[in-house]
Amino acid sequence: MVAPEISAPARVAAPDEAISLDELRLATRNHGMPLEALRYDLTPAGLHYLLIHYDIPDVDPDAWRLRIGGHVDAPVTLDLDQLRARERVSHTVTLECAGNGRARLLPRPISQPWLDEAVGTARWTGAPLAALLRDAGLRDGAVDVVFTGCDHGTERGVEQDYQRALPVADALGEEVILAYEMNGAPLPPQHGAPVRLIAPGWYGMAQVKWLREITVLDGPFRGFQNAVAYRRKRDPDDPGEPITRIQPRALMIPPGFPDFMTRRRIVDAGEVRLRGRAWSGRAPLRAVELSVDGGATWTPAELEAAGERYAWRAWSASWTARPGDHELCVRAIDELGGQPVGQPWNTQGMANNMVQRVIVTVR
Ligand SMILES: Nc1nc2c(c(=O)[nH]1)N[C@H]1C(S)=C(S)[C@@H](COP(=O)(O)O)O[C@H]1N2
Ligand SMILES: [Mo]
């Protein structure tokens, strides 16, 4: 007999409903990146955000095997040494959870209650996926490639291994790798040891950790994480559009120093250099803009030259801070558009890239 609350559908909070212990439990397991860590080009592994739907699985790297099968001519099983013996490439990639910004939505979709911090950038090293798929004899008519993790749980009544599929054209992208190192060290348990998928530019749900199987399908994948969970839905009956690549976002390092409880910022009057990072997985960035009046007027920030396509870029801007209370906002603009000032609400709180707001008291 399965308890009714574990098969409940996704839910939106009532207007006055506070964050629950269930949400708090998720938030303590799945921590964000403290925003002051935007100072690092590469996020130290312990400061990188984390999102784990179920438990961190216990995977013995010596016993670990990766099976590649399905719609291929030559299914293959590899161990870690065989994977490490293949061509080795590294990419600096910004990962962001598709649920980032969810807790700022009104009404609040109930799930992992992220504010702005579900992001991090690491240097991922591994074997290119396209060559592995070609060596396995990818057949004509392949549609989706399913990536299965070693972790297991239930979600809204559906028992499952964590699984996500990419369209075959995206899986064959030259930047997609099976990563076994993060920032020059073997993957830590929480980030998918011994091997995870890194699909640069895609929201976090695509970056399957503790990878154990790759299955090529000759039709669309209908698993829970693709067909139900990671979709932009207007209402519960809407099948929704799939969530794919990361929308533009800029974040600032909150200036000055914080109050412990409210985290309101306190800044001394005078010239302040504001700094942060900006990224977009869907299109190259064009600009970053700053507002010091709560989003009423915007001025361009300085944006560092582009480095690797899927790595965040530093920005900075000067602000003459005058005594009083101020609301600072920052927004990124890519070749397809910019961040909204109002909320892009949807039932599951996906891809909310509404602009960041930082309240500052200048003394
Ligand atoms: N196997 C597995 N892979 C997974 C997940 C998971 O729960 N299980 N969570 C996904 C989600 S929703 C995100 S946002 C990213 C987070 O990656 P990180 O914890 O390394 O930052 O991992 C993705 N890969
Ligand atoms: Mo996520």
* Cα gap 121→183, rounded to integer Å: 9
**% of the chain exceeding 90 in pLDDT:** 97
| Percent of the chain predicted with pLDDT > 70 | 99
Closest CA to 93 of 121, 72, 128: 121
Domains 21-229 and 249-362 share a fold: no
Ligand 1, atom 13: nearest CA belongs to which residue?
Answer: 204
Find out whether the beta carbon of 50 lies less than 6 Å from any atom of ligand 1. Answer: yes
| Closest residue by CA, ligand 1 atom 23 | 205
Ligand that comes closest to the CA of residue 99:
2
Average per-residue pLDDT in the chain? Answer: 97
**Residue 1: is its pLDDT beyond 70?**
no
| Ligand 1 atom closest to residue 148's alpha carbon, by position in its atom list | 1
Quick one: which of 241, 284, 255, 244 has its CA closest to 356? Answer: 255
Residue pair 200/176 in contact (Cβ under 8 Å)? The answer is: yes
One-letter amino acid for residue 130 of the chain = A
Fold of 21-229: Sulfite Oxidase; Chain A, domain 2 (3.90.420)
- In terms of Cα–Cα distance, which of 115, 100, 94, 114 is closest to 277? 94
The ligand minimizing its distance to the Cα of 162 is 1
Q: Is the CB of 95 under 6 A from ligand 1?
A: yes
Ligand 1 contacts CB of residue 147 (under 6 A): no
Structure tokens at 39: 């100072």
The three-state secondary structure class of 38 is helix
Q: Report how far apart the first and last C-alpha atoms of the chain are (Å, whole number).
A: 60
285 neighbors 248 (Cβ within 8 angstroms): yes
Q: Would you place residue 9 in the very low, low, confident or very high pLDDT band (cuts 50, 70, 90)?
A: confident
Query: Does ligand 1 have an atom closer than 6 angstroms to the CB of 199?
Result: no
Helix (H, G, I), strand (E, B) or coil at 70: strand
pLDDT tens per residue across span 332-355: 999 999 999 999 999 999 999 999
Q: Tell me, using a 6 A CB cutoff, whether residue 53 lines ligand 1.
A: yes
The answer to whether 360 and 267 have CB atoms below 8 angstroms apart is yes
> What's the topology of domain 249-362?
Immunoglobulin-like (2.60.40)
Domains of the chain: which residue ranges?
21-229, 249-362
DSSP SS3 for 194: coil
191 lines ligand 1 (CB under 6 A): yes
56-113 confidence digits (pLDDT tens): 999 999 999 999 999 999 999 999 999 999 999 999 999 999 999 999 999 999 999 9
102 lines ligand 1 (CB under 6 A): no
Task: Summarize the chain as % helix, strand, coil (round to 5).
Answer: 15, 35, 50
- Answer positive or negative: Cα dihedral of 177, 181, 186, 188: negative
Query: Ligand 1 atom closest to Cα of 150?
Result: 1
Q: How much is the pLDDT for 2?
A: 65
Q: What does the pLDDT look like over 177-202, one tens digit per residue?
A: 999 999 999 999 999 999 999 999 99
Burial (CB count <10 Å: 0-12, 13-18, 19+), residue 148: buried
DSSP classification of residue 345:
-
Distance from chain centroid for Cα 185: 21
